[in-house]
Structure 1
Amino acid sequence: MATQKYHFPILIEQDEDDIFIVSCPVFKGCHSYGKTIDEAMKNIQEVIEMCLEEEKPNSLNHFIGFREIEMQVAV
């Protein structure tokens, strides 16, 4: 069986308990977490593998990218 490398975008956030939340926006519901970024990244790889069992790489959503917006916010 041939293999092919894919690059998946990962969004990393940190919650109020200092847990790292990771998401792969290419797949709906593809989220995981970890106490460290390394642990979270290892966990999201496992979730992505499960998502790939459901969706074939050829049918993946075409991810466009992340953007930032700068705004003035009253605090």
Structure 2
Amino acid sequence: MKFSVTIDRDEDGVWVTECPSIPGCVSQDATKDEAIENIKEAIQLCLEVRAEKGIPLTIETRQIEVAA
């Protein structure tokens, strides 16, 4: 499965990654590469927990256009 993730750096220089289609699926690390590896593991764990609890695996996401 492929998931879109966001990658951002916080005010302390820590890389924060999030999977918007899975509520609460967030990770971080000191390097961007490690943060990306961490979010992969977080996604897997989030999917497992959601499946065990009978929660929908993901929420619907879309891209929309907004006039500037």
TM-score by length of 2: 0.76
Q: Is the 8 A contact 2:15 2:28 kept in 1?
A: yes
2:19 to 7, 24, 32: 24
1:53 to 37, 44, 48: 48
Using the alignment, how far apart are the partners of 1:13 and 1:62 within structure 2?
22
**Greater helix percent: which structure?**
2
Summarize the alignment of residues 1-75 of structure 1 with structure 2, pairs less than 5 Å apart. Answer: 6-56=1-51, 59-65=57-63
Aligned length: 64
State the Cα RMSD in Å.
Answer: 2.4
Report the CA distance shift for 1:59/1:22 in structure 2 as closer, same or farther (over 3 A): closer
Of structures 1 and 2, the one with the larger relative CO (CA 8 A, separation 6+) is: 2
Offset, 1:19: 0.6
Give the number of the structure whose alpha-carbon radius of gyration is greater.
1
